[in-house]
Amino acid sequence: MVADRAGGRRPRPAHAVAYAACGVVLLAGCASMPDSGDLRGVESTPRQDTQVRVFAMPPREDAQPPEIVQGFLEALTSDDPHYETARKYLTAEAARNWRPEASTTVLANGPGTEVAHAPNRENADDYSLALTGTEVATVDAQQSYAPADGQYSETVHLTRNAKTGQWRIDLLPQGVVMGQSDFQRNYMPVNKYYFASQAEAGGTSQPAAVADPVYVRRRVDLMTQVVRSLINGPTSLLEPVVRSSFPTGTALEKGVDSLTPDDRNKLTVPLNDKAARVGTDKCDEMAAQLLFTLENLTPAVDEVELQAGGAQLCSLAEDRAQAVAARGSAQHPDYLYFIDAKNRLVRLPAGGNGTQPEPVPGALGEGDQALRSVAVSRDERTAAGVGLDGRALYVASLASGGSLGDPVLVSQGKTEQDRLTPPSWDERGDLWVADRDPDDPRLLLLQQGKGEPVEVGTPGLEGRVQAVRVAADGVRVALVVEQDGERSLLIGRIERRTKTDGKPEVTVAELRSAAPELEEVTAMSWAGDSRLVVVGREQGGVQQIRYVQVDGSTPEAPAPAALTGVEEIAASEDDRMPLVAYSEDGIVRLPSGAQWQKVTAGTAPVYPG
C-alpha cells in the first residue's frame, strides 16, 4: 500500500483481502522481494474511495527481511490511528523509541528498496535495506507542509530474534515515509485559525483571523485530531506574528478521546483547568477559532460549547463568529475595479453580471491622470494608482470632489519595466509597492498611503520584486521575484516593530516558494485565507492558471478553466466572487460553474486590497 512504483508491476501473492461491503480494506506486506540486485519500488495500492478505511495486516510467520520491510511500509499508509500494526514489524525496543508523528516524508514514486547488507555465514542474523526515492515534500511534527527537492536515502536494519527466529526491524528513521499518491489519499489540508498579534483588522478592536494550514490524517478521528492541533498552537512559521486565545497549557480534559457534534451540529469541547478562568470575550475568541477551523469538516459544526471542570464557559454559534473576528474570506467586496480605455479607474458591482462600468467618484475616475495599475483599500474608501509610464504613485479618496495632489512616490527607473509595480493595500490601511529600479530596488510601505516611505527589509531575498500582494490577514505577503530570467512566487511573514526613535520597522521574513513547479509566474492574486491563484508555466510548458496553497502544496479544488493570453488576474478572498482576468479579449470573468465570459474593454482588474 505504499506509493507508486517506478516500472512495471510485480505479481503479488493474494494475501490482501478487501471487504467492500464493510468499507474496509486489509493490506498484507507479502509481495516477494529480491535478496540482492537492482533498485525496487514498493507497490502502491490504487486510490481508494475516501470513505473506505484501510488496515494493514501484521507480519506472517517466518517472513523474510524484504517482506518485513515491505509490510512495514504498507502499514504506514493504513488508517491505524496509532500505527499499532506497523509496530509489530519492529523489535520491542524499536517500537518504544519510534516516533511516527515526528515527520512525514513524501516521495514522488514511493520508497524504493535496495539491499545494503545481506546475511552471511559470519553474521546470519544481520540484514540492512536502503530506502531511496525523490523527495517532493515533508510534513514536520507541527503538521506543517513544505516542498522538498532532493534524494531520499535512509537505512532500515533488521535482526533475527534468537528465541523465535523471526526477523524484525531494530533500527529505522523517525517519522513515516510514503509515495505522493498515498499521501494524497491519507492526508488532507486544514486551516487552523489564530489571530494577528500585531494589528487589529481595519484599525478596529476586532482581531484579524489568520489561517495556519496544516496536513492531518483523513480518517483518524479527524475532528478530534484537528481540535488538538488547534489547541496546541500555531506552526513555527506564523508563531511570531499570531496569538491564540487558548491559555498556555490548555488541552482536552483528561479522558476525552473523541469529539463528535450532536444531532443539532453542536460540538461540546471539554477543556482542562487551564481554561477554567477565561473571561467571556476570551472564551468567545476561543470558540471562534474552533468554528473557523472546523468549518469545512464533516460532520458540520454550527455551534461550539466550551466547558471546563464540567461547567459551561461559553457557547458560540457560527453566525456570531464573524462578529468576534474579521476573516478575509468572509469579507464581501462591493465592487470590482479596473482601468478603462480612457485610462480611468472604473468599477462594476462585485459578483454581478453587469458589463457597463462607471468611473469611480473622485480624481482617479476623472481621467486627468492616465493610469496603468491600481489598488483599492479594503474599506473601498481610498485608491492608489500608478501613472501610465510607471514612474509616479498617486493616492486619492473615492469620494466626489477630491483633488489628486502630488504623487506620494516617484521612481527613478529609466524604463517603464524598471519602475513601480502595481500597489497593494493591507488591512491596516498601509500601502505596499515595489520599486524595480535596478540601481535601487526596494520593497516599500507607506503608512496610511502617505508620508515618508518605509523600506521593508527582505533578508535572504535574491532578485527583484516584480509584483506584491498583501493577504487580508495582514501578516503574509506574496511576492513575484525575478532572478536569472525566472519569476517565482514567494510567501513571507510580515513582522513589524517600532524602533527606539519611534519610526516603524517592517520586515518580510522566512520567504518560501509557493509554486515550486512554476518557473515563470506572470500574475497572481490571493484567492482565500491561505490560497492564491497563479498564472504561469512549468519548464517547457504552456501558460496555465492554477490554485496554490501558501505552504507550496496543491489544493484539492479543481484548477480554473483554461484561458489564453492572461496578463493579469484578480480574485477575492471570498470565493463566491468570480475570478477576473485581463487577457487578449480584454476584461473577462469566470462565474462559478461557467466558462470565461467577456465583460468589456479594459486592463488591470482588482478587487479591494
DSSP 115-151: EEE---SS-TTEEEEEEEEEEEEEE-TT--EEEEEEE
The full length of the chain comes to: 609
Label residues 190-227 b or e (16+ Cβ within 10 Å = b). bbbbbbbbbbbbbeeeebbbbbbbbbbbebeebbbbbb
Map out the domains of the chain as residue ranges: 17-173, 188-328, 329-606
- Fold classification of 17-173 is Nuclear Transport Factor 2; Chain: A, (3.10.450)
In this structure, what C-alpha cell is assigned to residue 71?
A: 509490510
User: 325 with 285: CB under 8 angstroms?
Assistant: yes
In this structure, what C-alpha cell is assigned to residue 366?
A: 476623472
Run of H or E residues at 282 = helix 280-294
Residue 23 phi/psi, 5-degree rounding, is 70, 30
Run of H or E residues at 518 = none
The whole-angstrom separation of Cα 274 and Cα 144 is: 26
User: 306 with 280: CB under 8 angstroms?
Assistant: no
The DSSP code for 109 is S
- 495 CB-contact burial (10 Å; exposed 0-12 / middle 13-18 / buried 19+): middle
CB atoms within 10 A of CB 184: 16
Residue 47 phi/psi, 5-degree rounding, is -55, 130
- What was the pLDDT predicted at 116? 85
- What was the pLDDT predicted at 14? 34
Residue 342 phi/psi, 5-degree rounding, is -95, 10
User: 569 with 525: CB under 8 angstroms?
Assistant: yes
The DSSP code for 350 is T
- Average pLDDT per block of 10 residues along the chain, 609 residues long: 34 36 46 39 45 81 96 96 97 98 96 85 82 97 96 97 96 98 96 86 74 96 97 97 98 96 97 97 98 95 97 97 93 96 97 94 96 97 98 97 93 97 96 97 97 97 97 96 95 96 95 94 97 95 96 92 96 95 97 93 98
Residue 113 phi/psi, 5-degree rounding, is -125, 140
CB proximity list for 4: less than 8 A, separation 6 or greater: 41, 44, 108, 109, 110, 179, 180, 181
The whole-angstrom separation of Cα 294 and Cα 267 is: 10
What CATH number does domain 329-606 carry, 1.10.287.990, 2.40.50.140, 2.120.10.30, 3.10.180.10? 2.120.10.30
The SS3 assignment for 386 reads strand
Query: ∠ CA(285), CA(290), CA(294), 5° rounding?
Result: 150
Q: Catalogue the long-range contacts made by 397-402 (C-beta closer than 8 Å, 24 or more residues apart).
A: 397/362, 398/360, 398/361, 398/362, 398/364, 399/361, 399/362, 400/361, 400/362, 401/362, 402/362, 402/363
- What was the pLDDT predicted at 556? 85
Beta strands in 218-293 (DSSP E): 242-243, 266-271
- What was the pLDDT predicted at 399? 95
> Model pTM?
0.89
- What was the pLDDT predicted at 27? 55
425 beta partners: 431
Run of H or E residues at 566 = none
227: left (phi over 0), alpha (psi -120 to 50) or beta: alpha
Only one residue has cell 456570531, namely: 320
